[in-house]
Amino acid sequence: MKRLVLVLSMAVLATSLNSCKKYKNKEVYANVPVYMDYESFRQSFEYIPAGQPLTMAGNIYVHNNYLLVNDMDKGIHIVDNSDPASPWVSGFMKIPGNTQMSVQGNLLYANSFIDLLVIDLSNINEPQLVTRMKDVFSYCLPVINDKYPVADIHKDQGVVVSWNIEKTKEVSGFMAKMFVADCDECDGEEVQVADMATKAPVTSGGRVNLAGSMAKFAIIGNHLYALDKNEIKSFDISNPSNPSFGGRTKTMAEAETLFPVEHYLFMGTTTGMKIYETQGTEDFPDEVSEIEHVESCDPVVVQGDYAYVTLRSGADCGGVENEFQVIDISNIKWPKFKRSFSMTDPHGLGVDGNLLFICDGEDGLKIYDTSDPLKAGNNLLYHFEFIQTVDIIPNNGTAIMIAEDGVYQYDYSDPGNIYMLSMLNL
């Protein structure tokens, strides 16, 4: 029996080696990197007053009477929201590799691939780059077309800012070369992956800085926390315009989102929710508890004694569950799963008072009554359909939602009469 297993193993190995040899010099269609050299990259920040069209909707942030809308890997759209019924685009900050942001006072902290930028928004119609912290984040790549493998990356050539789908021999690993889709439309032309889209009013008073549930940046006190793969990286922003690196904390999981509450960080990961304490451990947040779930994407929001978590399946997330969960966090050290409710394609979410807003992806925006959190999923109040929703921020009677085609706003000052206030195409 052992001899048979050995023979079979050798046969499999021989087949693998033959396959490897067979595809070693074969040209295949792949995501071929387009580089920007490091010098040009670090001079690439630019403000464009006329604005730019939205390519791929990312995070959204409320800053005073303005909305900051991330365009994945491209930069940040600035929307004047002084009148939520009639918002307008005032400009665009070109920031290659930007996916995350957070604001303290008038300073914007934004990632740009491997760097952290500090941008002065005192004159929001003329933002100024103040500081660039170099090489503080892992080398990362822009969104790819997952129908094709990724060609070899040469970090010495700079940062990868986009991709071309074209034939190349530079694809390491024979398995990647064996399972490659054809690309009839690629013959004779290049496909620019970076240009593909994945596709009485209440006004707020005072200073407001609010992030959505999909954020990977969070500020607590004088520290900025940023998720970088399986680490929390902290930055001391006591000197706001000149931050210093604090420390790094391993998450032991694939971290996805951060939601700050008082001195706690609620982290959504692909396998569960973790809670970190920052008081007295500002540079190195201390994990105090964790609750696990099936593999999936996992943004989190918190209100009172309950956390609400959406779980989403799909190629990027793994798993097959599409639902939102209610978790009892009355004992922060022992969070307890209470109930789950089925969803279609849940993404970001937000909560205010007794209203829970869930962006159910292709199934639109759903608003639930949480007066009894354990029955929330059975109390659907409103369903705004036919919108590819991404994330939402409820803010003092106005819910601000980012979708694939722009920004939607809803007046919820009267929970008995919630209605769409405006829609801004980007």
- CATH number, residue 385: 2.130.10.10
Distance CA 305, CA 330 (A): 5
Distance CA 209, CA 108 (A): 10
Residue 156 counted as domain residue:
no
Is-contact 288 278, C-beta < 8 A? no
* pLDDT for position 174: 46
Query: In total, how many domains does the chain have?
Result: 1
* Domain span holding position 292: 200-425
Residue 48 counted as domain residue:
no
Residue 100 counted as domain residue:
no
Residue 342 counted as domain residue:
yes
> Residues with Cβ < 8 Å from 349, sequence gap 6 or more?
213, 299, 301, 308, 310, 324, 356, 357, 358, 359, 392
Is-contact 321 306, C-beta < 8 A? no
Rounded to two decimals, the pTM is 0.87
Residue 117 counted as domain residue:
no
88, burial (CB in 10 Å: exposed 0-12, middle 13-18, buried 19+): exposed
- Length in residues, the chain: 426
* pLDDT for position 293: 74
Residue 324 counted as domain residue:
yes
Distance CA 36, CA 53 (A): 22
* pLDDT for position 181: 52
Using one digit for the tens of pLDDT, what is the confidence trace for 58-87? 999 999 999 999 999 999 999 999 999 999
DSSP for 329-370 reads -SSTTS-EEEEEEE-SS---EEEETTEEEEE-GGG-EEEEE-
Residue 91 counted as domain residue:
no
CA proximity to 407, closest of 359, 346, 363 = 359
Is-contact 132 116, C-beta < 8 A? yes
DSSP 25: T
Centre a 10 Å sphere on the Cβ of residue 231 and count the other Cβ atoms it contains. 17
> What residues of the chain score a pLDDT lower than 70?
1-25, 173-209, 294-297, 314-319
CA proximity to 409, closest of 204, 207, 209, 198 = 204
Residue 127 counted as domain residue:
no
